[in-house]
A and B are shown apart, each in its own frame.
Chain A
């Protein structure tokens, strides 16, 4: 700290962080005013997709007894899961 001290250290103490919230202004209203002056969104818009990145899949054909099949189907319905999701969930729960 060898710089010339102009003595405004005392004044700095008068500047404090805000203690109250500022008046709420919605971003949408600011954007409306900004767009009239050509201040528009410049950030690239990324297309979202609902599909999750996944690892390669494999077929699994099984012929369980109807009672087992029914239990599995009810589990899938109740939890809104696909068969692969439900199989993973049950194996996770079983610690397999």
Chain B
């Protein structure tokens, strides 16, 4: 059960940040993890070019024609294969969704993010029907305040709940530490508390989210 596709056709929803936070957290806990960086901006490949000792592997040379064979290769070698995609409705995203064993759909608490997440969900549902397989997916709220939910966030959450759209219980909160990971090219444990505010809270948030993901993967495997 290792292929986890992180997708939302909307740009800026937090896909690369969520991918990096989850993948580095799992790798730091001892899991074997590879990230397929399919975003042409190559944000995660750029992160890997730094001097982080985190053992996560990053493969940046992925395109439409190579994604299928890469997934088939990596799923047999690693406990977790993360696919980070560009924020656009692309054939590459469609292929990565169809072959996912879990889809993480990050959204900020804003209508455009939620609307485009719905497009991804519609595609997942049709792929499930067309290929007679279950593709579990979860909405992940990103950049939310850890202290208080905005009215908009509550309204979007209630709409999603009313439509039975599954959501991560934990959010990926707005934390400067997540941006600092890209700036200093380190994982959360390697960042210096002197350089970054709120580091303990960010680490705690990342661990709880990673734990929820691990439980989901175990449940999905049991259901399969």
B interface residue numbers (CB < 8 A to A): 1-2, 9, 26, 28-32, 63-64, 68, 72, 75-80, 86, 88-95, 98-99, 119, 122-123, 126-127, 130-131, 133, 188-189, 200, 203-204, 207-208, 210-211, 214-215, 217-218, 221
A10-44 CB mask vs B (1 if < 8 Å, else 0) is: 01101111110111010101110111111111110
Q: Are B214 and A43 in contact (CB under 8 A)?
A: no
- Given known contacts A16-B79, A31-B94, A37-B126, A3 and B119 CB-to-CB distance under 8 angstroms: no
A interface residue numbers (CB < 8 A to B): 1-6, 8-9, 11-12, 14-19, 21-23, 25, 27, 29-31, 33-43
How far does the Cβ of A12 sit from chain B's closest Cβ, in whole Å? 5
Given A12-B29, A39-B90, A42-B88, 16 more A-B residue pairs with CB atoms under 8 Å apart are A1-B189, A3-B189, A6-B211, A11-B218, A15-B80, A17-B77, A19-B76, A31-B95, A34-B91, A34-B123, A36-B126, A39-B89, A39-B123, A41-B91, A42-B91, A43-B63
CB contacts (< 8 Å) of B31 on chain A: these are 12, 15
Which residue of the partner chain, among A15, A31, A36, contacts B1 with CB atoms under 8 Å? A15
Q: Are B99 and A22 in contact (CB under 8 A)?
A: yes
Which residue of A has the minimal Cβ distance to B91?
A: A41
Q: Are A14 and B89 in contact (CB under 8 A)?
A: no
Interchain residue pairs A-B with the least CB separation, the first 4 = A34-B94, A39-B94, A42-B90, A37-B123
How far does the Cβ of A22 sit from chain B's closest Cβ, in whole Å? 7
CB contacts (< 8 Å) of A9 on chain B: these are 29-30
Q: Are B131 and A25 in contact (CB under 8 A)?
A: yes
- Given known contacts A6-B211, A17-B2, A33 and B126 CB-to-CB distance under 8 angstroms: yes
Q: Are A42 and B92 in contact (CB under 8 A)?
A: yes
Q: Are A4 and B203 in contact (CB under 8 A)?
A: yes
Expressed in whole angstroms, the Cα–Cα distance for A33 and B28 within the complex equals: 37
Q: In terms of DSSP, what is the predominant structure of the interface of chain A? A: loop
Which residue of the partner chain, among A4, A27, A40, contacts B204 with CB atoms under 8 Å? A4
CB contacts (< 8 Å) of B208 on chain A: these are 6
How far does the Cβ of B52 sit from chain A's closest Cβ, in whole Å? 13
Expressed in whole angstroms, the Cα–Cα distance for A91 and B29 within the complex equals: 61
CB contacts (< 8 Å) of A8 on chain B: these are 29, 210-211, 214
Q: Are B203 and A3 in contact (CB under 8 A)?
A: yes
Q: Are B126 and A17 in contact (CB under 8 A)?
A: no
How far does the Cβ of B194 sit from chain A's closest Cβ, in whole Å? 14
CB contacts (< 8 Å) of A30 on chain B: these are 94-95, 98, 127, 131
CB contacts (< 8 Å) of A21 on chain B: these are 72
How far does the Cβ of A20 sit from chain B's closest Cβ, in whole Å? 9
Expressed in whole angstroms, the Cα–Cα distance for A1 and B187 within the complex equals: 10
